[in-house]
Structure 1
Amino acid sequence: MKKPSVRITLVDRLGPCRCHRGHQIGDSFDFETQRGELCPMAAHAAFPFVDILRYGGTLPKSRHGDYRFCCPDADVVNVFRLEILPPEEP
């Protein structure tokens, strides 16, 4: 069984500084194929959440009804949304 793909989208910034990697709200990344384009700190923070979702686990949902996590940079605090993508048709 193939693991589902997970899309990571930057949806908000809570800190006073811009992202040091240059990410902007609206940027999206497929964790499987584009994780190298994602800030290493954000990718590291995302991994446990992505792993849980890819193997069928559940996470608490945000007040927005979706899955979210923050980057660990205290000056930036980018907020990312996680989405499980439907499997591609054969």
Structure 2
Amino acid sequence: MTRPKIRITLIDQKGPHGCHRGHKIGDSYDFDTERGELCPMAMHVAFPYVDILRYGGSIPGNEPGTAVFCCPDVDTINVFRIEVIQPDENEGNEGLKS
């Protein structure tokens, strides 16, 4: 069994300042190939959710295969969605970053 791909997408910004890392709403990252482009603070929060979803778990209050979290930077408060990408969705989706 292969691990499913994971996509992390910035879906909202709630803080009073723009992202210090330059992330914009709609930016998407493939966890396996582009995680180095994601802010380290956000990645630190995302990792446990990625692990849970990738290995078949679910996050209470979220749709199956998804998790929503925010970065810990109180000035920015970027809101991200993590999605498990099923194998048939991966075909032709090289470079998920918008």
TM-score, scaled relative to structure 1:
0.89
* CA root-mean-square deviation: 1.4
2: distance between equivalents of 1:84 and 1:54?
A: 7
Give 1:23's aligned residue: 23
Instruction: Report how far residue 60 of structure 1 moved.
Output: 2.0
Aligned partners of 1:8 and 1:30 also within 8 Å: yes
% identity of equivalent residues: 63
Instruction: Report how far residue 3 of structure 1 moved.
Output: 1.0
**Count of aligned positions:** 87
Give 2:56's aligned residue: 56
Give 1:13's aligned residue: 13
Give 2:69's aligned residue: 69
Give 1:33's aligned residue: 33
TM-score, scaled relative to structure 2:
0.82
Q: Which runs of 5+ in 1 are unaligned?
A: none
Q: Which runs of 5+ in 2 are unaligned?
A: 92-98
**Runs of 4+ in structure 1 over 6 Å off:** none
Secondary structure of 1:26's counterpart equals coil
